[in-house]
């Protein structure tokens, strides 16, 4: 039997040894074994849910052979074989994640925060500094949302283009080796029906970037067959018009998922084209089987015909690979059975170790609970109840951490007034602190590099400080940033040639080139994705959503991927992208929205900043660029042509996050607002002063974080009355601010009057000057609300006006 096998390729011949082929076979057997065992674990109750990569093993083995250090995988929950083949996953770690082991040393990917099959590697050291990505097989942690991995795939590949073509980036050698890195994205065939997929493919074809998209085509989207999913029943045929000819476009390769040599050849070709030519490639892997169906939540026997199920057995890639090995005399039956036995043993051993470690971690907490229960039985006056509680706790054959905590709280109620209650309280506090760290840490940066730890620098003015338009201030600031930081680039609609619709980037593309300030198509989702992926690779993108209302197009990517990235990797990955947009007062249903509550709730994990002018905006941008968290900055749309004093130290200003500013001091009422409403409220405060009402106006400046020093609470202690005002819909941003101030900060203690929220009408703003006036709060709206409060306090002094 020959040790070497040749002849798989018609060009660039590759030689595979018997050792390599059998190693591949063992890995596909191991991967199949853990999939089968994982499904059983769900049915046994060891795991809550399971989704696996069975049926896709062979294609992923082939892909792994061209995956180099420095490359990126951007996938979803089917890639276990690929990650294992590149050394990024052990089967014990596979089971640890399945069991939701909340320990980064066991589930090294998400510390128990994501369901199984969500993989990524660590990009940050213990201090939050970047590791050398060129020395790693990189995986951007997976997302479950359908096609959610596609937008950031564009950015991961786009970064290679920037590193290759921008000479000023060549010195950043820990992020790129001359732009030679490929991003390998993976997706199921049904998910290609999503707009995110098409938008990414189109943008990749325009940009010409090293992106290889593998479509695992098993013919179904859960129960829905491909003919209901995709035009022509084939994504490669549907995308034929995207194929590259003389200009831009993509390369399309179609290959069967059970054909080992053809798969290797296909991926060799795809990687060469992407890496060398920076041409995106679609690898359509067809005739893929799904031995266990979509997931552990149901059986595919319910919706697949008998003939289809028989076909899936016949074309199982692992079985065909086995037959291929035998037919080509690479190994005999005995050798393969030995490999299969070894694979089974490896999987069983990994499963046992993961389960034992998971139970031991739970037991470590619950043993402390048991000890207190024993002590309580011995000392408590309510011994019968305590004995019964202990009996119930001890009889639980599969206790969770929550069971220990629940038992402690029940115990504390039973022994109320006894000495042991103090010990119970201490243990409850200890366990709650542990579980807060396990399940609620790392939403934002907890490193010294956090933007919250950037030293504030105030604006400095002199007699020579000129008054200029707001747009000139932000333009001068960006000019300075681009001149000093080569990692910064900007992409967005109309930001290049015309310098954005409000001239914030005016003249900068001509000065710094198209690679630094780049026009894009109208494609909000992948503009965000372009920024996310590039930020994952150490660049500092500023990506623009032209108008705030358009952010809805990109909201799934912002919330499912960017905002949750640091949290779901337990602080091991980050993407400090800055999303720049403009909103608030204008005219028209789709150009004047202020959907702040949507952002506040959907984007936890990002900072949401609402500067009232452009000196403030510049200060926020500077702080963010010195920090390591993602953020949304909403500039005031009607402020670009308003005059502001230009600070002498514009380039140095660092505006602190979460710190409000008092714009007008007063004693009767506190009015809390932000953004474009600041000018309206300040004007109303002046009118109120004329009738004897002293108003304290506070600009919150930052909604996430919000008033970290409780400045508004101090104001309410003084005035005993508060109004929250913004342009969001009723119950939106104002309700959030009220909850923070009254509930979180405890200001309700100091109120002498009912707190009031002033917001826009419950509809989008109507068009025209009058439409704006009657849709959103005005000076008169603010005046009337404040006057009414004071009229209730002192009707003699403030009689009814209308």
Mean pLDDT value of segment 365-378: 93
How far apart are alpha carbons 160 and 582 in whole angstroms?
30
**In sequence order, what are the residues at sequence separation of 6 or more whose Cβ sits closer than 8 angstroms to the Cβ of residue 796?**
none
Q: Would you state the pLDDT for residue 383?
A: 84
111 band by pLDDT with thresholds 50, 70 and 90: very high
> Are the CB atoms for 293 and 264 separated by under 8 Å?
no
> Are the CB atoms for 702 and 608 separated by under 8 Å?
yes
Q: Over 60: is that where the pLDDT of 9 sits?
A: no
777 band by pLDDT with thresholds 50, 70 and 90: very high
**In sequence order, what are the residues at sequence separation of 6 or more whose Cβ sits closer than 8 angstroms to the Cβ of residue 309?**
300, 301
5 band by pLDDT with thresholds 50, 70 and 90: very low
Which pTM value belongs to this model? Answer: 0.95
Strand order in 251-256's β-sheet? 138-140, 72-74, 183-188, 211-216, 281-286, 251-256
The token pair that represents 272 in the structure block: 């060469």
In eight-state DSSP terms, residue 14 is -
How far apart are alpha carbons 588 and 592 in whole angstroms?
6
Cis before 705? omega within 30? yes
How far apart are alpha carbons 230 and 535 in whole angstroms?
33
The token pair that represents 540 in the structure block: 């500092």
Mean pLDDT value of segment 530-547: 98
How far apart are alpha carbons 339 and 318 in whole angstroms?
13
14 band by pLDDT with thresholds 50, 70 and 90: low
294 band by pLDDT with thresholds 50, 70 and 90: confident
Q: Would you state the pLDDT for residue 10?
A: 35
The token pair that represents 127 in the structure block: 């201090």
**In sequence order, what are the residues at sequence separation of 6 or more whose Cβ sits closer than 8 angstroms to the Cβ of residue 158?**
207, 209, 530, 533, 534
CA distances from 656 to 582, 620, 789 (A): 20, 7, 33
> Are the CB atoms for 734 and 758 separated by under 8 Å?
yes
The token pair that represents 384 in the structure block: 């019968």
Name residue, tokens 């002033």: 758
> Are the CB atoms for 146 and 557 separated by under 8 Å?
no
Q: Over 70: is that where the pLDDT of 669 sits?
A: yes
Residue 104's Cα: distance from chain center in Å? 18
Give me the DSSP letters along 108-130. TTTTT-S-SS------B-TTSPB
pLDDT in tens, 644-662: 999 999 999 999 999 999 9
Per the annotation, the verdict on 101 as an active-site residue is no
> Are the CB atoms for 80 and 117 separated by under 8 Å?
yes
**In sequence order, what are the residues at sequence separation of 6 or more whose Cβ sits closer than 8 angstroms to the Cβ of residue 748?**
742, 755
**In sequence order, what are the residues at sequence separation of 6 or more whose Cβ sits closer than 8 angstroms to the Cβ of residue 632?**
551, 558, 579, 581, 599, 603, 606, 607, 608, 609
704 band by pLDDT with thresholds 50, 70 and 90: very high
How far apart are alpha carbons 635 and 475 in whole angstroms?
13
Find residue 790's DSSP bridge partners: none
> Are the CB atoms for 605 and 461 separated by under 8 Å?
no
Alpha-carbon radius of gyration of the chain: 30
> Are the CB atoms for 357 and 97 separated by under 8 Å?
no
Find residue 469's DSSP bridge partners: 643
pLDDT in tens, 388-417: 999 999 999 889 999 999 999 999 999 987
pLDDT in tens, 411-463: 999 998 778 999 999 999 999 999 999 999 999 999 999 999 999 999 999 99
The token pair that represents 242 in the structure block: 């995207």
Name residue, tokens 């115990």: 411
Q: Over 70: is that where the pLDDT of 127 sits?
A: yes
Phi-psi region of 710 (alpha: psi -120 to 50; beta: other; left: phi over 0): left
Q: Over 70: is that where the pLDDT of 490 sits?
A: yes
The token pair that represents 368 in the structure block: 């402390």
pLDDT in tens, 262-285: 999 999 999 999 999 999 999 999
CA distances from 421 to 144, 379, 425 (A): 44, 11, 6
Name residue, tokens 């690929």: 82
How far apart are alpha carbons 673 and 703 in whole angstroms?
10
**In sequence order, what are the residues at sequence separation of 6 or more whose Cβ sits closer than 8 angstroms to the Cβ of residue 787?**
688, 691, 693, 798, 801
Q: Would you state the pLDDT for residue 2?
A: 36
How far apart are alpha carbons 519 and 541 in whole angstroms?
13
> Are the CB atoms for 694 and 718 separated by under 8 Å?
no
Nearest residue to 625 via CA among 481, 445, 491, 518:
481
Find residue 184's DSSP bridge partners: 73, 212
Phi, psi for 717 (deg, rounded to 5): -60, -30
Helix, strand, coil percent content, the chain, rounded in steps of 5: 45, 15, 40
Name residue, tokens 């065939």: 189
Higher pLDDT, 17 or 204: 204
How far apart are alpha carbons 705 and 782 in whole angstroms?
25
pLDDT in tens, 54-95: 999 999 999 999 999 999 999 999 999 999 999 999 999 999
Nearest residue to 617 via CA among 788, 789, 463, 481:
481
Mean pLDDT value of segment 580-594: 84
Strand 183-188 relative to strand 211-216, pairing: parallel
Listed in sequence order, the DSSP H helices in 76-209 are 80-85, 91-98, 150-165, 195-207
Q: Would you state the pLDDT for residue 379?
A: 87
How far apart are alpha carbons 17 and 175 in whole angstroms?
33
Q: Over 70: is that where the pLDDT of 1 sits?
A: no
Nearest residue to 106 via CA among 117, 114, 118, 94:
94
Name residue, tokens 């046992």: 352
> Are the CB atoms for 154 and 89 separated by under 8 Å?
no
The token pair that represents 206 in the structure block: 């325009």
How far apart are alpha carbons 282 and 243 in whole angstroms?
9
How far apart are alpha carbons 774 and 261 in whole angstroms?
69
Name residue, tokens 């969500």: 118
The residue count of the chain comes to 802
Phi, psi for 100 (deg, rounded to 5): 60, 45
Q: Over 80: is that where the pLDDT of 11 sits?
A: no
Q: Over 60: is that where the pLDDT of 368 sits?
A: yes
Strand 607-609 relative to strand 702-704, pairing: antiparallel
Average pLDDT, the chain: 95
Given 106, 591, 607, 745, the catalytic residue: 591
Residue 337's Cα: distance from chain center in Å? 44
Element housing 494 (H / E): none
Find residue 73's DSSP bridge partners: 139, 184
Phi, psi for 588 (deg, rounded to 5): 115, 145
How far apart are alpha carbons 464 and 656 in whole angstroms?
26
663 band by pLDDT with thresholds 50, 70 and 90: very high
How far apart are alpha carbons 346 and 90 in whole angstroms?
10
């Amino acid at each position: 039997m020959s040790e070497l096998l040749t002849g798989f390729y018609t060009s660039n011949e590759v030689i595979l040894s018997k050792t390599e082929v059998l190693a591949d076979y063992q890995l596909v057997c191991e991967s199949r074994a853990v999939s089968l065992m994982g499904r059983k674990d769900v049915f046994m109750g060891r795991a809550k849910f399971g989704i696996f990569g069975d049926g896709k093993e062979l294609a992923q083995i082939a892909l792994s052979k061209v995956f180099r250090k420095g490359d990126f995988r951007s996938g979803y929950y089917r890639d276990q074989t690929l990650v294992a083949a590149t050394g990024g996953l052990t089967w014990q770690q596979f089971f640890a994640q399945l069991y939701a082991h909340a320990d980064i040393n066991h589930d090294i990917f998400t510390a128990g925060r994501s369901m199984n099959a969500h993989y990524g590697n660590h990009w940050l050291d213990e201090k939050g500094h970047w590791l050398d990505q060129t020395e790693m097989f990189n995986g951007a942690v997976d997302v479950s949302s359908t096609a959610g991995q596609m937008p950031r795939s564009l950015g991961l590949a786009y970064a290679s283009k920037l590193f290759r073509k921008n000479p000023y980036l060549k010195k950043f050698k820990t992020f790129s080796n001359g732009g030679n890195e490929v991003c390998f994205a993976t997706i199921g065939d049904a998910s290609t029906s999503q707009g995110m997929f098409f938008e990414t493919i189109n943008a990749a074809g325009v940009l010409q970037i090293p992106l290889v998209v593998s479509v695992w085509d098993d013919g179904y989207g859960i129960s829905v067959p491909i003919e209901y999913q995709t035009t022509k029943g084939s994504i490669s045929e549907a995308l034929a018009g995207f194929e590259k000819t003389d200009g831009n476009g993509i390369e399309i390769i179609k290959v069967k998922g059970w054909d080992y040599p053809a798969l290797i050849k296909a991926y060799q070709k795809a990687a060469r084209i992407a890496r060398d030519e920076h041409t995106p490639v679609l690898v359509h892997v067809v005739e893929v089987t799904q031995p266990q169906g979509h997931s552990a939540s149901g059986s595919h026997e319910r919706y697949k015909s008998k003939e289809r199920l028989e076909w899936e057995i016949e074309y199982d890639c692992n079985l065909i690979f086995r037959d291929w090995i035998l037919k080509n005399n690479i190994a005999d039956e005995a050798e393969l059975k030995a490999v299969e036995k070894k694979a089974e043993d490896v999987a069983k051993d990994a499963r046992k170790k993961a389960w034992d470690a998971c139970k031991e971690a739970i037991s470590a907490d619950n043993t402390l609970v048991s000890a207190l229960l024993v002590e309580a039985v011995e000392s408590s006056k309510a011994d019968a109840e305590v004995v019964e509680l202990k009996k119930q706790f001890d009889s639980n054959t599969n206790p969770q951490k929550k069971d220990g905590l629940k038992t402690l709280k029940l115990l504390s109620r039973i022994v109320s007034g006894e000495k042991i209650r103090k010990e119970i309280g201490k243990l409850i506090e200890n366990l709650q602190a542990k579980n807060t760290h396990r399940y609620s840490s790392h939403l934002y940066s907890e490193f010294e590099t956090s933007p919250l730890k950037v030293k504030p620098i105030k604006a400095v003015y002199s007699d020579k400080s000129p008054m200029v338009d707001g747009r000139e201030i932000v333009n001068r600031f960006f000019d300075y940033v681009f001149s000093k930081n080569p990692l910064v680039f900007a992409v967005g609609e109309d930001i290049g040639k015309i310098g954005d619709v409000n001239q914030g980037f005016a003249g900068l593309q001509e000065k710094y080139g198209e690679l630094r300030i780049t026009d894009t198509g109208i494609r909000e989702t992948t503009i965000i994705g372009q920024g996310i992926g590039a930020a994952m690779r150490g660049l500092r993108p500023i990506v623009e959503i032209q108008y705030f209302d358009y952010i809805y197009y990109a909201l799934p990517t912002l919330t499912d991927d960017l905002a949750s990235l640091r949290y779901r990797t337990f602080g091991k990955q980050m993407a400090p992208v800055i999303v720049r947009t403009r909103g608030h007062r204008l005219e028209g249903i789709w150009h004047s929205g202020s959907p702040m509550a949507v952002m506040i709730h959907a984007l936890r994990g990002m900072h949401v900043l609402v500067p009232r002018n452009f000196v403030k905006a510049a200060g926020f941008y500077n702080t963010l660029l010195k920090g390591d968290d993602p953020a949304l900055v909403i500039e005031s749309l009607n402020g670009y042509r308003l005059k502001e004093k230009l600070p002498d130290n514009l380039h140095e200003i660092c505006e602190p996050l979460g710190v409000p500013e008092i714009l007008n001091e007063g004693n009767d009422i506190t009015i809390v607002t932000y953004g474009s409403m600041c000018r309206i409220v300040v004007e109303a405060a002046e009118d109120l002063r004329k009738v004897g009402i002293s108003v304290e106006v506070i600009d919150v400046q930052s909604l996430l974080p919000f008033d970290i020093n409780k400045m508004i609470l101090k104001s309410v202690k003084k005035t005993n009355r508060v109004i929250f005002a913004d342009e969001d819909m009723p119950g939106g941003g104002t309700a959030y601010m009220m909850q923070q101030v009254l509930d979180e900060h405890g200001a309700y203690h100091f109120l002498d009057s009912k707190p009031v929220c002033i917001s826009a009408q419950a509809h989008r703003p109507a068009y025209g000057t009058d439409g704006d006036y009657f849709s959103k709060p005005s000076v008169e709206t603010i005046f009337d609300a404040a006057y009414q409060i004071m009229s209730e306090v002192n009707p003699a002094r403030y009689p009814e006006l209308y």
